[in-house]
Amino acid sequence: MFIEDSHKEYDVIIIGGGITGAATARDCALRGLKTLLVERGDLCDGASGRNHGLLHSGARYAVTDPEGARECISENMILRRIASSCIDPTGGLFITLPEDSLDYQEKFIKACRDCGIEAEAITPEEALRLEPAVNPKLIGAVKVPDASVDPFRLVDANILDAVRHGADIIKFREVTGLVKENGDVKGVQLGDTTIRSRQVIIAAGIWSAHIAEMGGAHIDMMPSKGSLLIFGHRLTRMVINRCRKPGNADILVPGDVVSVLGTTSDKVPFEDCEDMKATSDEVNVLLNEGIHLVPELSTTRIIRAYAGVRPLVVADSSASGRNVSRGIVLLDHEKRDGIKGLITITGGKLTTCRLMAEMATDLVCEKLGLKIPCTTARRKLPGSEKRKSGKDPVNKRAAVGRHGSEADMMDFNGKGGGEIICECEQVTRAEIEYAVRNLGVRSISDLRRHTRVGMGTCQGSFCIRRVAKVLAEVLGTPDKALELMNDYLQERWKGMSPVLWGDTLREADYMHKVHRK
């Protein structure tokens, strides 16, 4: 359950509420371990919520990282089975342009097939029939089993399953130290609160290096910044990739009703990771390159820009973001550094989160002398269970699209439950009540991650006052509505500032006029 504090002793404490931490909490709880997950902010508030939402087929890595590609296609198939409510099975298309090489396409197809990835060459004419928006100058195309995945839903589903199997979750509390006795890690320090455990797993992304230092271990990590753009509508049905060596703006992912263009890759200092923003220069790079994939991007409204940080473990400090392995790194600090009770799981990709969790939990069980098999590859996540047949009312359909079978737990018939609060995303009061009750929502930014409130075309311009009023009422603090709204608008402004021209500038000006004091 979601708690503020704890005086229990746990088998395992997991630090980090992104997808790796969430999946690990689920695996540990399913194996019967007394589990606590600690997150300094909201769930999915770091790199897990700042990516393009691609469920990798592995095709992108087939040429350069066959092992990673095989992991991706295997986990792709597993997640389609257990997390169907989080996934849009779009399929993917790798296109070759005149300035690229058909020789690379041939190499690409062979590498995919060697890794067990279905890769089918199709003619440019067939590609344009499937996707009329792609660059008509293409000279080759390959179909692969890529898909779109909502990272926020995937994190929520893992956390819900963990909680329902006994895990505790503490959000908005930062780990300030690791508890050590005779050189062994025995728990975590949250300010003045000490919470003890038999094992601690660090799953904190790029911040894992800092937390490991608290325990006396060093991890040589390189923050790799990736910036992305969100466009105002869904331009393609399929994921569109550039069939060449990885570069800037070589992928466009359709997600819900928008399109996400990514990404850049730049080495940045650790001190910049706390406040990562896309810059105007990065926006220009993405746009200038992205129009080679889909020319219509040049005339499509940009909703916002954002950036995340990849947690890359490096051996060569001179390496750049694109030539460092994106592979899974599991560190047993007892064997590596002589520090018992401490494990780090990092690297990898969103697609491999379940596998990373299995690896980390296997190691915990080994340390605890337990032989409990992993079941996460077979058990469906909450929301992906089979629903009873029947027609949903109109005001429930969007919630079903986001939460699958979990929408049946929402009270649309209660007082005001069926009222639509956010028109763009069709979010009702019932969905807001569910998010507060089940996911520990405290602010509108939290609510956005769990329901898509304010993520539609108007970016909250028309609904945010109603959202703030309803959320404040549900939280039991009706006098805090204005404070909730102002905090949200200030946060959302950061993502709009790098793309303030044309329609986006007009919208920002309108939003300011509507909501200024």
2 DSSP 8-state letter: B
Paired sense of beta strands 342-347 and 193-202, if any: parallel
User: Looking at the chain, which residues constitute the CATH 3.30.9.10 domain(s)?
Assistant: 87-147+222-309
Dihedral sign, Cα of residue 240, residue 106, residue 227, residue 51: positive
Q: Taking the mean position of all CA atoms in its chain, how far away is CA 303?
A: 19
Contact 410, 433 (CB under 8 A): yes
Q: Tokens 């909450």 belong to which residue?
A: 382
> What's the pLDDT tens digit per position in 102-160?
999 999 999 999 999 999 999 999 999 999 999 999 999 999 999 999 999 999 999 99
Task: State the pLDDT at residue 113.
Answer: 97
What's the mean pLDDT in 59-69?
94
Task: State the pLDDT at residue 454.
Answer: 84
Contact 435, 441 (CB under 8 A): yes
pLDDT band at 327 (very low <50, low <70, confident <90, very high): confident
pLDDT above 50 for 389? yes
pLDDT band at 33 (very low <50, low <70, confident <90, very high): very high
pLDDT band at 315 (very low <50, low <70, confident <90, very high): low
Q: What is the DSSP string of 77-141?
A: HHHHHH-GGGEE---EEEEE-TTS-HHHHHHHHHHHHHTT---EEE-HHHHHHH-TTS-TT--EE
> What's the pLDDT tens digit per position in 336-380?
999 999 999 999 999 999 999 999 999 999 999 999 999 999 999
Residues 379 and 216: their CA atoms lie apart, in Å, by: 37
Residues 212 and 178: their CA atoms lie apart, in Å, by: 9
Contact 262, 249 (CB under 8 A): yes
Q: Tokens 């908005």 belong to which residue?
A: 172
Task: State the pLDDT at residue 318.
Answer: 35
What's the mean pLDDT in 465-472?
93
DSSP H stretches of helix in 195-292:
208-214, 280-290
pLDDT, the chain, mean: 91
Element (H, E) at 147: strand 147-149
User: Looking at the chain, which residues constitute the CATH 3.50.50.60 domain(s)?
Assistant: 9-47+152-220+326-367
Q: Tokens 């060093």 belong to which residue?
A: 218
Query: In this structure, which topology does domain 87-147+222-309 adopt according to CATH?
Result: D-Amino Acid Oxidase; Chain A, domain 2 (3.30.9)
Of residues 218 and 461, more confidently modeled: 218
Q: Where does 9-47+152-220+326-367 sit in CATH, by number?
A: 3.50.50.60
Task: State the pLDDT at residue 379.
Answer: 96
pLDDT above 60 for 517? no
Task: State the pLDDT at residue 319.
Answer: 35
Task: State the pLDDT at residue 516.
Answer: 64
